[in-house]
Amino acid sequence: MRLKLVAAPVLLALALAACNKKQKAQTIGEGSTPAGAASAAPGAGSPPPTVAAITAPTPPAKVAVDQTAQVIVYGYHRFVNQVRRPDTEITPQMFEQQMQELKNRGITVIGMQDFLAWKRGEKNIPPRCAIITFDDGWKSQYDVAWPIMKKFGYPFTLFIYTEGVRGGHFGGGEATTWEQLAEMRDAGVDIQAHSETHQDLRKPYDKVAKKKLSPPEYEQWLQNEVGRCKETLEQRLGIKVNCFAVPYGFYNQHIKDVAKGVGYEAVFTVYGQPITFRSTLDSLGRYLIEGNKPKVFVDAISMIATSSGGGAPVAAIGSSNIASKPADSGESFRLWRNRSRQCNDAGEWVRRCPSVL
Ligand SMILES: [Zn+2]
């Protein structure tokens, strides 16, 4: 009996400590104080706060995470047997080989939420990790890529633009349906936002409405593309959306500010680079994998395989091979569109031709 009496307070203390680990998610920007960290106002009957409690609030309990771990993020679009647009298409065979390659090289594929938990200092991850993302909601992601991912037991993230889902303005026969998204959600697939209509968010021109936007109109439009997109996904799928991938990788500070304002925790671009514990969450680079440039895939792996960790340099690899930097991607986009006669109409381009980025 004596033992039980001693054990009870200990267990209670442990339970309270565990609760403290559940802190509110940070929004974009590292180093900010998590909400709730400040001491709460004392309730009636509670002891007055000590000086120490006011001047130096105890930070939320965190697990000891490996700050030298590194992560690479891959982005894919369509999976087809015959590649006609190598910028955005890849065969199922090559994709499967790449997934196998990760296993062979000891790279652990982790889920987006585990990655974010690591960035918050709440959860550890293996030393070398990859995140797999699929953009734009193509049906082949459901039909072709998902079974392959299941085979490997890999988690992944979908970046969806809401008007590109079947039935939406751009949601044609090759688009995924809301039902398929719900099915994937139920299976644990992470679903995140990629705008409403997949346009260059820096420009005050709505290609769907074919309308030049006044400054107030632009702000409202941007709010819809970044914020309403999130709300739509959350409401239709009953999920929490905390990541945003900027269409084509085009962004500026204002777009990042809007993303932060509507509650995104992380923003993804296409500037492929190893991500470290210190990488800022408002512009995380991804390696876009193209069917005719498999070297980008292995080069990305070698960036984290050979680095000593911690302050890894930004990858030079990829920037010359793929449309990576926003400036580069603009040029790549123009060259690519000029090559493809189907894509002259800007409004229809997203539907018929997969977005490059
Ligand atoms: Zn896209």
Asked, for residue 48, whether it belongs to a domain, the answer is no
Of residues 17, 29, 140, 6, the one with CA closest to residue 76: 140
For residue 102, the CA-to-ligand 1 centroid distance in Å is: 24
Q: What are phi and psi of 63, to 5 degrees?
A: -80, 160
For residue 304, the CA-to-ligand 1 centroid distance in Å is: 25
Per-residue pLDDT tens digits for 299-352: 999 998 765 444 333 333 333 332 222 323 333 333 333 333 223 223 233 333
For residue 50, the CA-to-ligand 1 centroid distance in Å is: 52
Q: How far apart are CA 62 and CA 339, in angstroms?
A: 52
Q: How far apart are CA 97 and CA 173, in angstroms?
A: 28
Bridge partners for 160 per DSSP: 193
For residue 198, the CA-to-ligand 1 centroid distance in Å is: 6
For residue 44, the CA-to-ligand 1 centroid distance in Å is: 54
Please give the average per-residue pLDDT across 166-190, as a whole number.
97
Asked, for residue 41, whether it belongs to a domain, the answer is no
For residue 357, the CA-to-ligand 1 centroid distance in Å is: 5
User: How much is the mean pLDDT over the chain?
Assistant: 78
pLDDT given for residue 352 in this prediction: 31
Cα separations in angstroms, 263 against 29, 129, 230, 285: 11, 26, 9, 20
Asked, for residue 25, whether it belongs to a domain, the answer is no
Question: How many structural domains comprise the chain?
Answer: 1
pLDDT given for residue 55 in this prediction: 54
For residue 19, the CA-to-ligand 1 centroid distance in Å is: 38
Asked, for residue 283, whether it belongs to a domain, the answer is yes
Asked, for residue 210, whether it belongs to a domain, the answer is yes
Asked, for residue 119, whether it belongs to a domain, the answer is yes
pLDDT given for residue 306 in this prediction: 63
Asked, for residue 264, whether it belongs to a domain, the answer is yes
Asked, for residue 127, whether it belongs to a domain, the answer is yes
Per-residue pLDDT tens digits for 77-103: 999 999 999 989 999 999 999 999 999
For residue 137, the CA-to-ligand 1 centroid distance in Å is: 9
Domain that holds residue 172: 70-351
Per-residue pLDDT tens digits for 185-219: 999 999 999 999 999 999 999 999 999 999 999 99
The answer, yes or no, to whether residue 35 has pLDDT greater than 70, is no
Task: Residue 113: give its domain's CATH number.
Answer: 3.20.20.370
> What is the value of pTM for the model shown?
0.72
